[in-house]
């Protein structure tokens, strides 16, 4: 993901500098080649979304289906999934070079954006790109928010299970005779079940941040495709600032994407591994309760009846 975003950003930056500093006649003579380069840089944009979707899906499967994840999901499978989606993204992005979609205006001798298409076949490509981008947005958000749901449901389930455990009358008597042990049981054990762990809180916050960040950066770009196809020329002119903002947000996504997904990888992966172990060991927490109560049970069983 870091390499993908770095190549995309570097390529767009170099091409922008060439447009600014090269002589106008050189730019005009090679305009068609520059337009092809713009299509190539677009590949890295949709590829970034594909990689982010695979990462989000991996997180969801790891926490929602931990046994399936450990048995079937491997690093090799994840890499293959990324490359398959990346290949699909490349195929869709390069379609304008083969006549399906617009990237160069022959009449004006300038580059044309797919979302500004006017011919039926080019408009169809714009809607295809809109569909792919929207599916990526929806998929990433659903996976990230589903992780929150899994954590919430697991926590509530364990709270209900622990709340259904009732001490025996003899155990109650023993606990009343040992206030120190009772204090440990009431405070430490109940807090262990009723309070979310640090990993739960951190992971839930991370999923929310990732979902909101991706939607803010990508959704305006998808909406702009529909607006440019449906609005009149006068309205397009009035809303030109909206289209510029959508382009800036995509650029912001390219710039911050490596930091959020990659540079924080060590801590995030550590949290993910901790959460997987945590989900596995949820049921084993009752052993801790038994260990805490066993001394009191032994004391009760050894004491003579009154």
- Predicted confidence band at 155 (pLDDT cuts at 50, 70, 90)? low
Q: Mean pLDDT over residues 243-270, rounded?
A: 70
Q: Mean pLDDT over residues 254-283, rounded?
A: 55
Determine contact, residues 133/263, Cβ cutoff 8 Å. Answer: no
Predicted confidence (pLDDT) per residue in 44-98, tens digit? 888 888 888 888 888 888 878 888 888 888 888 888 888 898 889 899 999 998 9
More confident residue, 275 or 50: 50
pTM for the whole structure? 0.69
What pLDDT shows up at residue 73? 83
- What share of the chain has pLDDT > 70, as a percent? 65
Average pLDDT taken over every residue of the chain:
73
Q: Mean pLDDT over residues 34-41, rounded?
A: 90
Domain 2-301 has CATH 1.20.1070: yes
Residue 292 makes CB contacts below 8 A (sequence gap 6+) with 184, 185, 188, 189
The sign of the torsion formed by the CA atoms of 281, 284, 286, 287 equals: negative
How far apart CA 137 and CA 147 sit, in angstroms, is: 16
Q: Could you tell me the residue ranges of all domains in the chain?
A: 2-301
């Amino acid at each position: 993901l870091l390499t993908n975003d770095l190549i995309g950003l570097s390529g767009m930056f170099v091409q922008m500098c060439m447009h600014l500093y090269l002589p106008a006649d050189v730019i005009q003579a090679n305009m068609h080649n520059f337009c092809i380069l713009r299509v190539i840089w677009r590949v890295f944009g949709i590829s970034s979304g594909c990689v982010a979707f695979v990462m989000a899906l991996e997180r969801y499967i790891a926490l929602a289906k931990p046994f399936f994840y450990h048995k079937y999901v491997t690093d090799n499978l994840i890499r293959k999934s990324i490359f398959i989606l990346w290949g699909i993204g490349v195929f869709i992005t390069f379609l304008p070079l083969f006549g399906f979609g617009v990237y160069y205006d022959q009449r004006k001798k300038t580059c044309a954006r797919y979302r500004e298409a006017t011919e039926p076949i080019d408009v169809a490509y714009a809607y295809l790109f809109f569909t792919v981008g929207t599916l990526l947005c929806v998929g990433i958000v659903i996976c990230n928010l589903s992780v929150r749901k899994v954590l919430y449901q697991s926590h509530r389930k364990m709270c209900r299970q622990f709340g259904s455990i009732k001490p025996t009358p003899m155990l109650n008597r023993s606990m009343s005779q040992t206030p120190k042990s009772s204090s440990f049981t009431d405070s430490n054990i109940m807090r262990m079940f009723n309070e979310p762990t640090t990993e739960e809180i951190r992971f839930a916050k991370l999923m929310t941040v990732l979902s909101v960040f991706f939607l803010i950066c990508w959704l305006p770009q998808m909406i702009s495709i529909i607006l440019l196809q449906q609005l009149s020329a006068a309205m397009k002119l009035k809303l030109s600032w909206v289209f510029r903002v959508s382009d800036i947000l995509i650029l912001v996504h390219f710039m911050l994407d490596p930091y959020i997904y990659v540079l924080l990888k060590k801590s995030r992966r550590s949290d993910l591994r901790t959460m997987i172990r945590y989900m596995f060991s949820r049921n084993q927490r009752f052993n801790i309760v038994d260990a805490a109560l066993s001394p009191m049970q032994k004391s009760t069983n050894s004491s003579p009846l009154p």
